Structure 1
Amino acid sequence: MNQIQPTPSGGPHGSPEGSAPDLAQLLRRSARGDQQAFAELYDATAARAYGLALRVVRDPAQAEEVTQEAYLDLWRTASRFDPARGSAISWVFTLVHRKAVDRVRSAEAATRRDTAFQSRQTDVAHDATAETAHSSLEARRVRAALDQLTPVQREAIELSYLGGYTHTEVATLLDLPLGTAKTRIRDGLIRLRDFMGVGGPWHE
């Protein structure tokens, strides 16, 4: 559809916030094709989105590419935002995080393909396939477990454990007192453990 290049205010390194705009409203307007609303959304969130991408891919150039790709996807899929499932900023960060993880996995897969020719052939390939299948199954279990949380618990857990933010950073991103952010994360972890069983990957 329309191509959009959301690069006002100097790209991902520009100032992310002006006067705390209503991100959910900007997403709804973007879904209707409002490019000005999308530019405002980009200005308000891109610096933090870039920081999240950089935390995952650990390369500034790739982090910029991931951020741009994520916002192009965001422009195309803004209509899928559902405020009942979490805040607008959490939805944006989830999309950016998914893109960044995909980039890392793609690079790792390419590296594995390159080294497979020089290492222990069939057994290594078989082990890697089994490990990938196990990881995929575990990812589905985690997603199912996340769906059991309340929206506020899920967004706090996603920022803390998927986004890699500290409790203090989560509190700042969600505009919450630190104690409230910690409580949401703790309660979310308890519900995840109950769903996944003792000894799951969420123990502190």
Structure 2
Amino acid sequence: MGAMLTRDELALALGRAGEGDRSAFKIVYEATSAKLLGVCLRILADRQLAEDVLQDTYLTVWRKASTFDATRASPITWLVTIARNRSIDRLRSASPMRRSVPVEDAHDLADAAPLASDVIETTDDVGRLNVCLETLEDKVRTAIRTAFLEGVTYDALASKENVPLGTMKSWIRRGLLRLRSCLET
């Protein structure tokens, strides 16, 4: 299993790889190759073909790492997009005679499963949120989790904690501001 990197560490390694730093490229590969192989396998359903496409993916990453823009996408989203596009390209080129399907039938062909890139991104975001939540005071963290995950009203939370409603609102507001600040870094 690859090394676990934060979003910022991965972005930094991609930037260094774009400057020709082979050790940074190795870091990117080790941290992401298992996830990207999973993307390729899901699309191609053939391990050998998926491994070939994974190699093509990292050749593209090596050539284009300097174009990565962390303000436009997370590093893993950028990498997954490349792997997904390479896999689809390979799938298309492998079928010499594609049959056409009317656009009206597209809903029957759609895969209801979430995209791997969405799952990875969500997992990354949840991890970052949990890290940021841990920086809050216990009472504030508990109030935010209870309000937003369990749907408990501020009024009910204030009664439960035996504090005025205004105090509860202040705790949650200040906590949310701190969370936003933490998540933006």
Normalising TM by the smaller chain, what interval? 0.5 to 0.7
Contact (CA 8 Å) 1:97, 1:162: kept in 2 or not?
A: no
User: How many pairs are equivalent?
Assistant: 121
Q: Could you tell me which of 93, 104, 113 is aligned with 2:80?
A: 93
Instruction: Report the aligned-residue RMSD.
Output: 3.1
- Given the alignment, which residue of 52, 62, 67 partners 2:54? 67
- Tell me the TM-score normalized by structure 2: 0.56
CA contact 1:93–1:163 (8 Å) conserved in 2: no
Give the 3 Å change call, closer, same or farther, for CA 63–56 of structure 1 in structure 2. Answer: same
SS in 2 for 1:70: helix
Match of 1:83 among 49, 67, 70: 70
Structure 1 residue aligned with 2:41? 54
1:152 corresponds in structure 2 to none
- Alpha-carbon deviation of 1:169? 5.1
Asked if the contact 2:36/2:80 (under 8 Å) is kept, the reply is: yes
Structure 1 counterpart of 2:69, which letter? D
Mark the runs of 5 or more structure 2 residues left unpaired by the alignment. Answer: 104-110, 131-185
2:123 maps to: 172
Change (3 A) 1:25 1:162: farther
Superposed CA deviations along residues 70-111 of structure 1, whole A, max 9, x for unmatched, are 001100010110111110110000000000000111112x2x
Q: What's the TM-score once normalised by structure 1's chain length?
A: 0.51
Name stretches of at least 5 consecutive residues in structure 1 with no aligned partner. 1-14, 114-123, 135-159, 179-204
Structure 1 position 17 matched with structure 2 position 3: yes
Q: How far apart in 1 are the matches of 2:16 and 2:117?
A: 31
- Paired with 1:64 and 1:44, the residues of 2 have a C-alpha distance of 16
2:175 aligned residue? none
Separation in 2, partners of 1:33, 1:161: 39
